[in-house]
Amino acid sequence: MPEATGTKRAHLPAPSEHAPYYSRYIDLLEDRPIVEILEEQGKSTLAFLRSIPENRGQHRYEAGKWSILEVIGHVNDAERVFSHRALRFGRGDTTPLPSFEHEDYVRTAGSDARSIRDLADEFEAIRRSTLALFRSFRPEDLDRSGVAAENRVTVRALGGIIAGHERHHGRILRERYLT
């Protein structure tokens, strides 16, 4: 069973399954099956995104920070990247994968020209795809790993990273952008 900070966890990845940086996301999750977390989170996140008024989309809580639209676009892009890694490694592909420069993705995505509704619809489609992928994995597939951004990571950890990354940015939206 994976362990973290001295307590046993039955469903979440052990710290040895991912780069230390990703603990900041995985540690935000409760110890439940990742598919349950992703499914419940998908519904609650979609409701939250659809509750944000369109006229707030360009809001930045501080000069030089991403807009609300850019944060949502970033969450969408990151989930696609992490899901792609999970697909590759879960299917036994051991080809090392490069990192992705999230700042470049945000700068070139054009999220500020889109609506919150459009980005929320995209999130819904991406999350449905992520859920279908993770439902297809057998327990032994979750143990598979590969190298991404020069760090070994398991498929299980990628599921936790997806959910934790969304939770992290959802909190930032609530606490810094919408208070």
- Structural domains in the chain plus CATH codes: 19-177 (1.20.120.450)
Please report the pLDDT score of residue 7 as a whole number.
55
φ and ψ of 95, to 5 deg:
-65, 125
Query: pLDDT class for 1, splitting at 50, 70, 90?
Result: very low
Q: Which amino acid is at 114?
A: R
For the chain, counts of helices (H) and of strands (E): 7, 4
Please report the pLDDT score of residue 81 as a whole number.
98
Cα separation of 126 and 115, whole Å? 17
Please report the pLDDT score of residue 95 as a whole number.
97
Please report the pLDDT score of residue 5 as a whole number.
45
Q: Which residues contact 79 (CB under 8 A, 6 or more apart)?
A: 123, 126, 127, 130, 162, 165, 166
Mean pLDDT of all residues in 40-54: 98
Distance of CA 126 to the CA centre of its chain: 11
pLDDT at 2 over 80: no
Please report the pLDDT score of residue 174 as a whole number.
98
Cα separation of 126 and 77, whole Å? 9
Q: Which residues contact 53 (CB under 8 A, 6 or more apart)?
A: 116
Structure tokens at 138: 């057998």
Query: pLDDT class for 8, splitting at 50, 70, 90?
Result: low
Nearest by Cα to 172 from 70, 101, 46, 82: 70
Please report the pLDDT score of residue 10 as a whole number.
87
